[in-house]
A and B are shown apart, each in its own frame.
Chain A
Amino acid sequence: MRLEIAVLSGPPIIMFVAFVIFPVALAAYYGFYRWHGYGAPTDWVGLNNYKLILTDPAFQQVLWHNFLIMVLSLVIQGPLAIVLALLLNQKIRGRSVIRVLIFVPFIISEVIVGTGWSLMLQSNGALNGLLHNTGLDFMRADWLANPKLALWTLMGIITWKYIGFAVILMLAGLQSIPEELFEAAAIDGASYWQIQRRITLPLLGPTVRIWGLLSIIGSLQLFDLVYIIWGQYISGTAGTSTMAIYMVGQGRNAGNYGYGSAVAVVMFLVSLVVAVIYQRFVLRRDLRGAVTQGVS
């Protein structure tokens, strides 16, 4: 039996440790060197990379952007997804078709979403054209380059891309609530809104909180969309750059692999701290150590 366990679980574990865990550990090691990626790293600089990162105004800026994106994603998508899910959970026709269609933006790759939206949002693009055609000329804007607007444009695209996933998740959560509860409440004379507020929302809590964690991690790692739409340099001036953009720009594109690794470590620590805080204060009730002792 030991042999079976070893044969079956050996290859996956080796693969996983070698290409997932080990690189993260390597990043921590490379982060202490000034290193351009050739040969073994020799130029030990201690915590200097980290000092540079934390004092770099550009990094503080991207950290702030990540924070804004994280908070705005929760604040915009959460309530919107709950309302839409409540709506779509009613007995209406064509529910399964609706579910498929709202999931489409989530299935399409970030690169395609980014390419498509950047064409539509150019100053002579489709959105401004549409606003012109409908007589809303005063609303035309430079959606991508205007630094006052760009972050909101990004939030719009993020919402569009990921709201379907949130709604599907909430719908699934709603389906797990026993219908008897609603019937009992209705018999007791509760109104539709009372039922939603007193029964649905509390019971939907676990789903909402798990979605929140996914959304937070996604926000902190955001890269593809920004890199495709704004690129390394314009994202800086437009105010949409993120930690991952900074990492790729300062690390790989500049050939500073030691520095890039240090940025990765900082990103990891930021995500970890946020996730731990979230688990501790928000998810405590739901998880009860699910991740650490899911199998018992």
Chain B
Amino acid sequence: MSATTASWSSVREPGAPTGGRGNRDKPKKWGNPATYFVALLFIAVCIAPVLYIVVGGFRTNSQITTSPAGLPRPWVTGNYLNVLSSNTFWGEFANSTIVALASTIGIVVLGLMVSFVIARYDFKLKGAMYSLFAAGLMFPLVIAITPLYIMIKDLGLVDSLFGVIVPQIAFGLPTTVIILVPFLRAIPKEIEEAAAIDGASRLGFFFRMVLPLSGPGVVTVGILAFIGSWNNYVLPLYILDSQANFTLPLGVQAFSSQYSEDTAKVLAFTSLAMLPALIFFSVFEKRIVGGLTGAVKG
């Protein structure tokens, strides 16, 4: 997602992505039924497995064994209640939340700082600075994970949430810089001059004008950071050892191997673990899909 935005943004020098909708988005008539058929089929394929996980949590194991693809008959809530009343789930939920919030804040704050410099200051190393972060897109976490683990171990941060948060912030910066720089550049020079005439320093300009004006970009970047952190698996897998520190992805994995005989419970745990990201997404979907569309549209 990031790289796309990246290359497009830089090629097309877009204004701030607005995700605005053109006239084309307003359908005037119903159109071809075949189109709806294919669209519905596509949606069904996308959603059915997710529904299976959620609905499967309402069945018992014997129901699942006798009819693997059936519906709950009767619906049982025991699996969900069981998970919801367990300390394991809520502990992992809290860990995931802490890590995601801290990472998001770190990524947004540091990302804004450096993006502001790249976008609004004129100096020799500006291009190099941008390239440094753009090149970061080519360094995925998986490749750096082995030495990163050693580093975190030497810093004494193994098996602590902090040891996940810090690298996650660092790895979130490239995407952020690449999305934010065009945003910040799009703020008209006149506003900055007007602020200067009114006696605001460049830093004052940053806090009074840039922060409010770059709101949409910041939100997009923040959402991406949050969901990325919520779903991250490799880093916690290496860094976190004890179950008390697990985030939800590790928790799901541990739970499903611990209760491998109890499919219904695993399904309930799994669907509860994905719920926050889904809720988050459905609340902000316009920002994500729209922001992406806006970024590519230029």
Chain A residues within 8 Å of B, Cβ to Cβ: 1-2, 4-5, 8-9, 11-13, 15-24, 26-27, 30, 37, 84, 87-88, 90-93, 95-96, 98-105, 107-112, 115-117, 119-120, 124-130, 132-133, 160, 163-165, 168-169, 171-173, 175-176, 179, 206-207, 210-211, 213-214, 217, 221, 223-224, 228, 244, 247, 251-252, 257, 260-261, 264, 267-268, 271-272, 275, 283, 286-288, 290-296
Contacts and interface: CB of A to CB of B under 8 A. Distances in A.
B162 interface: no
A1 B4 contact: no
Interface string B119-152: 1010100110111111110111011111111110
A175 B17 CA distance: 14
Contacts of A168: 289, 292-293
Contacts of A288: 11
Chain B binding surface, main DSSP class: helix
B202 A1 contact: yes
Contacts of A107: 227, 277-278, 281
Given A15-B169, A109-B277, A214 B143 contact: no
B36 interface: yes
B274 A264 contact: no
Given A95-B25, A295-B130, A128 B68 contact: yes
Nearest to B1: A165
Contacts of A13: 114, 129, 132
Nearest to A6: B117
Interface stretch (B82-90, B190-198, B213-221, B249-257): B249-257
A267 B133 CA distance: 20
B85 to A, nearest CB: 21
B143 A175 contact: no
A129 B67 contact: yes
Given A92-B31, A214-B4, A252-B238, A23 B144 contact: yes
A125 B277 contact: no
A105 B114 CA distance: 32
Interface of B: 1, 3-4, 6-11, 22, 24-25, 27-32, 35-36, 38-39, 42-43, 45-47, 49-50, 52-53, 56, 65, 67-70, 110-111, 113-114, 116-119, 121, 123, 126-127, 129-136, 138-140, 142-151, 153, 166-167, 169-171, 173-174, 181, 202-203, 227, 230-234, 238, 248-250, 252-253, 256, 263, 266-267, 270, 273-274, 277-278, 281-282, 285, 288-289, 292-293, 295-298
B138 A295 contact: no
Given A92-B31, A111-B253, A102 B42 contact: yes
Contact of B170 (A16, A98, A103, A165): A16
A24 B146 CA distance: 9
A291 B135 contact: yes
Interface centre among A1, A8, A133, A268 (most CB of B within 10 A): A8
Contacts of A257: 146, 150
Nearest to A131: B69
6 contacts: A9-B118, A13-B132, A26-B150, A133-B69, A290-B11, A295-B118
Contacts of B4: 169, 210-211, 214
Nearest to B203: A4
Chain A binding surface, main DSSP class: helix
A295 B117 contact: no
B46 A92 contact: no
Nearest to B236: A111
B146 A102 contact: no
A172 B292 contact: yes
Interface centre among A20, A101, A126, A247 (most CB of B within 10 A): A20
Given A119-B263, A179-B24, A27 B147 contact: yes
A110 to B, nearest CB: 6
A264 B43 contact: no
B139 A21 contact: yes
Interface centre among A115, A169, A211 (most CB of B within 10 A): A115
Given A104-B46, A133-B69, A223-B142, A175 B52 contact: no
A73 to B, nearest CB: 16
Nearest to B294: A172
